[in-house]
Amino acid sequence: MAPIPEKNSDWSSLFRANGSIPGWMQYGTYVLWALLFVGWWALFRPAVMPSFGDIIGSFEPLVKRHNLIGNWLSTVGLSLEAMAWSCLIATIISYLAVIPLFRPIAYAISKMRYMSFVGFAFLFMVALREPALIRVSLLIYGIVPFLVTSMTAIILSRDQMMFRYARTLNLSEARVVWHVLVRGVASDMLEAIRQNLAIAFVMIVTVEAKIRQGGGLGMLLYDVETRRADYAEVFAIQILIFATAIGFDVLIMLANRWLFPYAFLQRERSA
């Protein structure tokens, strides 16, 4: 008997709306688009853009003369610290939103994602003085509203039926919250953190460029762009930031899969 294909490996599925294709075929599409991009870059890139060789070659002077590794470590440390504090603060605010009295605070902070910290940096400097503290605080100011928006949406969209179900088991209110709102959404919360990690990396460059004490890739990028206008180095730093962020992204996804396997079973089933 011929083996039953797991998913439709027919080529026409590649072009069908919401088509389902096997994993090898899906990975193949990534490789295809990557090759097309590399080909376009090699053959048709605008003159202002550096070649791959120039970009790779620029890593050596960046490491030797501009302390790329030290700056990278500084950026990683700052992003980890800011994300840890932001997650803690956003989680507290989001869970407070369950109580109607505190809900306006969560909504107000959520709306603050429309307010850039540019312009407020001076206030932070005056209030905090310590450069490291100013950097972390600015990042928290920038990240928390995005995290609160995602986390509050997850918590408040929890099905009312799950609360009723938990209460039919005569669980205390604390245990209802624990099972329905904490353990029940933990995987979604981690996923929200993963998705909002991008905001942290977009902001970190701006913050490091603005508050230069302590170095970092943002400061280095600003210097390379404005003082030397070396676009091979700019691209090299951008690629390093991109790779670091993707690394974090993958690590959080793997941690989520390891910590909450049931959530992925649910998603795979509903897919």
Partner 1 sequence: MSYQRTDTLLLRVNDLVFGYEPGKPVLYNLDWEIRDLIHPDQVTGQIVCLLGSSGSGKSTLLNLLAGHLRPRYGTVEVMGHASKQLTTTLKGEVGVVYQNYALFEHLTVYQNLVLGARQGAVQRDWKEPLRSWFSRKAREASPFHQAAVAMAREFGLEQQLSQYPAQLSGGQRQRVAIAQQLLFQRQILILDEPFSGLDHLAKMRAIQAIQTAAHLSESNTLIIITHDIEAAVRVGDTICLLGPNEGEDPGASIRLTVDLAAKGLSSKVHHDDPALVASVVKEVEAFFESLAG
Q: Where does this chain bind partner 1 (CB under 8 A)?
A: 161-162, 164-171, 179, 183-184, 186, 260-263, 265-266, 269
- Which residue's CB is nearer to partner 1, number 134 or number 180? 180
- Which residue's CB is nearer to partner 1, number 154 or number 205? 154
Long-range contacts of 243-246 (CB under 8 A, 24+ apart): 244/72, 244/75, 244/76, 244/201, 245/197, 245/198, 245/201
Residue 6 beta carbon to partner 1: minimum distance, rounded to whole angstroms? 17
Tokens, residue 117: 């910290």
Helices (H), 22-120: 23-44, 52-66, 68-96, 103-111
Residue 193 beta carbon to partner 1: minimum distance, rounded to whole angstroms? 18
Assign 4 to helix, strand or coil. coil
- Which residue's CB is nearer to partner 1, number 59 or number 165? 165
Separation between Cα atoms, residue 210 and residue 116, nearest integer Å: 14
- Which residue's CB is nearer to partner 1, number 73 or number 171? 171
Residue 95 beta carbon to partner 1: minimum distance, rounded to whole angstroms? 17
Residue 131 beta carbon to partner 1: minimum distance, rounded to whole angstroms? 42
